[in-house]
Amino acid sequence: MMSSTETAGTDTPSVEAAGATATSAPTASPETASPETASPETASPETASPETAIPAITSLDGLVEREEAAFLARTQRSAELWERASHVMPGGVASSWASSRPVPVWVDRGLGGHVWDADGTEYVDMHGGYGVNVVGHAHPAVVEAVQRRVALGTHFAQPTEDTIVVGEALRSRFGLPMWRYTNSGTEATMDAVHLMRAITGRSLVIKIEGTYHGHHDALMVSSFRSAAQLGSIDDPHRVPGSGIPQAMADLLRIVPFNDLEALQRVLEAHAGQIAGMILEPMMMNAGIISPKPGYLQGVVDLVHAHGGLVAFDEVKTGMVVHPGGVTAMYGVQPDMVCLAKALGGGVPCGAIGGTAEVMAAITDGRYDQVGTFNGNPLTMAAARAVLTEVLTPESYVRAEQLGRQMLAGSLAALHQNGQPAYGAVHGFKGSVVFHGTPCTDYREFLEIDLAISHCHFLYQHNGGVFLPPWGKSESWTLCVSHSDADGERYVDNVARLARDVAPIVDRSSLIFGEGQYN
Ligand SMILES: Cc1ncc(COP(=O)(O)O)c(C=O)c1O
């Protein structure tokens, strides 16, 4: 059933992050990023070779500064565009999370597993648009489907046949019989919560500490918080996102991932009040945290025993870690599955699947699941190509094989250099984590060192591999076109980082605080 790889850490003792007291992590902005301070030579990923460059660097912050200078020197056009963008878009970006230090990189185009930035530099793209691009860029099947649809009209707010084909494909992958569409993961999880409440007539919803399910009021609570904000493990704080009233947060109950006893306590404490629980069945946005054996079935059984419904948020994992997501990989059936990201092959998308009982609430009008663009013909044409032509069973096998090679090579290099590390590979997803012990929940994840994780992002970028920023929280996303050579480039960059950090004894950082999300 599970074909994935989990590789645990080394015997090498963890490195003490002593004395990290400063908390003023300078967030780069168009005003503060200073390409002028960087080397005047524009380095390409191939030529940016810190090996040749340097007097010994004795701190992680020193490595960060050196690599950020090289990064800025290579991305001058991005810095110019960022400055111009800052006059029309707050923060100079279209979405606040596209802003990352040292400068958000403007992308010009992509093809297959590669992208080119505005300075013309080519990268192996393992960012994948935050986990969307498992089909790669401009896949011929998706291009053909979208071009054909554009010529036939892209919006009617009336159903097209592709909505049926996509629903049938999702039914066979995830085992849930009925599907509806949305335009984003945010909308899919919002519908899941609405359905729980509409069907049970109850208000309280349980979510996992630290997880993100989109930016709507019902669930943007206790996401991305630092250790200092979490409160007691027995009764975690319910911290709303900015702009969200505490009254909304108070409709949630927060439990740690992988902890059935905590879940049971909450269910018993609020007997008859819990509408349901939403969780990522494999935690993403915190590296990759796998469910312990029996955890997912335990969640479903406990919540059902208390009259609630369970939704798996598979926005990041669905069709990515396995053809039928974590749901099929672990063979545990929730009441609802939320999808987005990879479904549309790069076109905005979302979907919610449910059991016959749950979806009957839509059929009989207890819940109006609506949206002008739901099932948009362009999205559905792309999704049909993704599901029926591109993401074949073989594509998952191939991606996982490449991922395993990348993980094995990376861990060998890190362990040879005394760096504690572990990792995971599941289908197109994988990560290398710079920490000795595999994390099982969000609090453990917060202990991972931020400075070395950001260094890793910079080393990869300067070495020609585009990873998502926020090195500690994100993972790689492979696509159907990535080659062994692409994977080797990743491993080479990890090896260079491993060699450079080996002599650094004091791992404290004045740039990055401890116990923070990023
Ligand atoms: C697990 C999870 N759920 C939901 C969402 C929200 O999806 P969207 O950004 O499409 O609204 C995200 C976005 O990253 C996510 O990671």
What confidence tens digit (pLDDT) does each residue in 301-337 have?
999 999 999 999 999 999 999 999 999 999 999 999 9
End-to-end Cα distance, the chain: 34
CA separation for the pair 123, 370 (Å, rounded): 39
- Co-location of 238 and 355 in the same domain: yes
Q: Atom 9 (ligand 1): residue with closest C-alpha?
A: 185
- Co-location of 316 and 405 in the same domain: no
Q: Which of 123, 130, 181, 212 is catalytic?
A: 212
Banded model confidence at residue 13, pLDDT cuts 50, 70, 90: very low
11 is catalytic: no
Contact 440, 208 (CB under 8 A): no
Mean pLDDT of the 91-117 span: 95
Among 34-38, 196-200, 461-465, name the one with the lowest average pLDDT. Answer: 34-38
- Co-location of 344 and 397 in the same domain: no
Beta strands in 148-293 (DSSP E): 178-182, 204-208, 252-255, 274-279
Q: Atom 4 (ligand 1): residue with closest C-alpha?
A: 213
Banded model confidence at residue 515, pLDDT cuts 50, 70, 90: confident
pLDDT > 70? residue 2: no
Closest CA to 383 of 161, 152, 124: 161
What are the tens digits of pLDDT across the range 111-168?
999 999 999 999 999 999 999 999 999 999 999 999 999 999 999 999 999 999 999 9
What are the tens digits of pLDDT across the range 279-303?
999 999 888 999 999 999 999 999 9
Helix (H, G, I), strand (E, B) or coil at 111: strand
- Residue 381 falls within a domain, yes or no? no
Give the atom of ligand 1 at the shortest distance from the alpha carbon of 317.
1
Q: Which domain holds residue 367?
A: 159-371
- Co-location of 229 and 286 in the same domain: yes
Tell me the two tokens of residue 133: 């691009």
Tell me the two tokens of residue 468: 């998502």
Question: What's the gap in Å between 259 CA and the centre of ligand 1?
Answer: 23
What are the tens digits of pLDDT across the range 392-447?
999 999 999 999 999 999 999 999 999 999 999 999 999 999 999 999 999 999 99
Closest CA to 366 of 485, 199, 177: 199
Q: Which of 208, 221, 315 should be mutated for ligand 1, with most atoms under 8 A from CB?
A: 315
Task: Give yes or no for a cis peptide into 45 (omega within 30° of 0).
Answer: no
Q: Distance from CA of residue 62 to its chain's centroid?
A: 28
What are the tens digits of pLDDT across the range 362-397?
999 999 999 999 999 999 999 999 999 999 999 999
Give the atom of ligand 1 at the shortest distance from the alpha carbon of 340.
10
Helix (H, G, I), strand (E, B) or coil at 407: helix
Q: Which of 61, 117, 162, 313 is catalytic?
A: 313
Quick one: what percent of the chain has pLDDT higher than 70? 89
Give 174's Cβ-side CA count (13 Å radius).
35
Banded model confidence at residue 55, pLDDT cuts 50, 70, 90: low
pLDDT for residue 231: 87
pLDDT for residue 513: 80
- Co-location of 132 and 179 in the same domain: no
Question: What's the gap in Å between 365 CA and the centre of ligand 1?
Answer: 27
- Residue 473 falls within a domain, yes or no? yes
- Residue 48 falls within a domain, yes or no? no
pLDDT > 70? residue 461: yes
Closest CA to 357 of 155, 195, 217, 157: 195
Question: What's the gap in Å between 283 CA and the centre of ligand 1?
Answer: 12
What are the tens digits of pLDDT across the range 21-45?
222 222 344 433 333 333 323 334 4
Give the atom of ligand 1 at the shortest distance from the alpha carbon of 350.
10
Tell me the two tokens of residue 457: 């992002």
Q: Atom 2 (ligand 1): residue with closest C-alpha?
A: 213
Total domains present in the chain:
2
- Residue 388 falls within a domain, yes or no? no
Q: Average pLDDT, whole number, for the chain?
A: 90
pTM beyond 0.85: the answer is: yes
What are the beta bridge partners of residue 287?
Answer: none
Q: Which of 280, 341, 352, 429 should be mutated for ligand 1, with most atoms under 8 A from CB?
A: 341
pLDDT > 80? residue 11: no
Give the atom of ligand 1 at the shortest distance from the alpha carbon of 341.
10
pLDDT > 50? residue 255: yes
| Residue found under tokens 């909450």 | 266
pLDDT > 70? residue 490: yes
Banded model confidence at residue 5, pLDDT cuts 50, 70, 90: low
313 is catalytic: yes
Closest CA to 265 of 276, 253, 275: 253
Q: Residue type for 308, please?
A: G
Question: What's the gap in Å between 505 CA and the centre of ligand 1?
Answer: 38
Distances (CA, A) of 343 to 275, 396, 428, 464: 28, 15, 14, 27
pLDDT > 60? residue 176: yes
- Co-location of 247 and 171 in the same domain: yes
341 is catalytic: yes
- Co-location of 75 and 31 in the same domain: yes
Stated as kind and residue range, the H or E segment containing 458 is: helix 450-462
CATH number of the domain bearing residue 194? 3.40.640.10
CA separation for the pair 351, 191 (Å, rounded): 10
Please tell me what DSSP assigns to residue 105: P
Question: What's the gap in Å between 189 CA and the centre of ligand 1?
Answer: 9
- Co-location of 223 and 363 in the same domain: yes
pLDDT for residue 285: 87
Mean pLDDT of the 473-482 span: 94
Q: Atom 8 (ligand 1): residue with closest C-alpha?
A: 185
Helix (H, G, I), strand (E, B) or coil at 433: strand
Question: What's the gap in Å between 339 CA and the centre of ligand 1?
Answer: 9
Question: What's the gap in Å between 52 CA and the centre of ligand 1?
Answer: 41
Helix (H, G, I), strand (E, B) or coil at 93: coil
pLDDT for residue 53: 53
pLDDT for residue 297: 98
pLDDT for residue 264: 98
pLDDT for residue 477: 98
Q: Residue type for 11, please?
A: D
The Cα diameter of the chain in Å comes to: 71
The values of phi and psi at residue 191, to 5°, are -60, -40
pLDDT for residue 342: 98
Q: Which of 207, 316, 341, 429 is catalytic?
A: 341
Give the atom of ligand 1 at the shortest distance from the alpha carbon of 211.
1
Please tell me what DSSP assigns to residue 41: S
Helix (H, G, I), strand (E, B) or coil at 332: coil
Closest CA to 105 of 93, 87, 88: 93
Give the atom of ligand 1 at the shortest distance from the alpha carbon of 280.
1
Banded model confidence at residue 9, pLDDT cuts 50, 70, 90: very low
- Co-location of 174 and 91 in the same domain: no
Question: What's the gap in Å between 347 CA and the centre of ligand 1?
Answer: 14
Banded model confidence at residue 52, pLDDT cuts 50, 70, 90: low
Among 105-109, 226-230, 351-355, name the one with the lowest average pLDDT. Answer: 226-230
Q: Atom 13 (ligand 1): residue with closest C-alpha?
A: 214
- Residue 172 falls within a domain, yes or no? yes
- Co-location of 347 and 286 in the same domain: yes
Mean pLDDT of the 96-117 span: 95
Give the atom of ligand 1 at the shortest distance from the alpha carbon of 185.
7
- Find the residues whose C-beta lies inside 6 A of ligand 1: 130, 184-186, 189, 212-214, 280, 284-285, 313, 315-316, 340
Question: What's the gap in Å between 151 CA and the centre of ligand 1?
Answer: 30
Q: Residue type for 46, please?
A: E
pLDDT > 80? residue 505: yes
- What lies within 8 Å, CB to CB, of 99 at 6+ separation is 27, 28, 29, 91, 92, 93
- Residue 122 falls within a domain, yes or no? yes
Among 222-236, 334-348, 410-424, name the one with the lowest average pLDDT. Answer: 222-236
Q: Which of 191, 193, 212 should be mutated for ligand 1, with most atoms under 8 A from CB?
A: 212
- Co-location of 29 and 63 in the same domain: yes
- Co-location of 219 and 361 in the same domain: yes
CATH number of the domain bearing residue 96? 3.90.1150.10
- Residue 152 falls within a domain, yes or no? no
Tell me the two tokens of residue 217: 């009021």
- Residue 384 falls within a domain, yes or no? no
Helix (H, G, I), strand (E, B) or coil at 147: helix
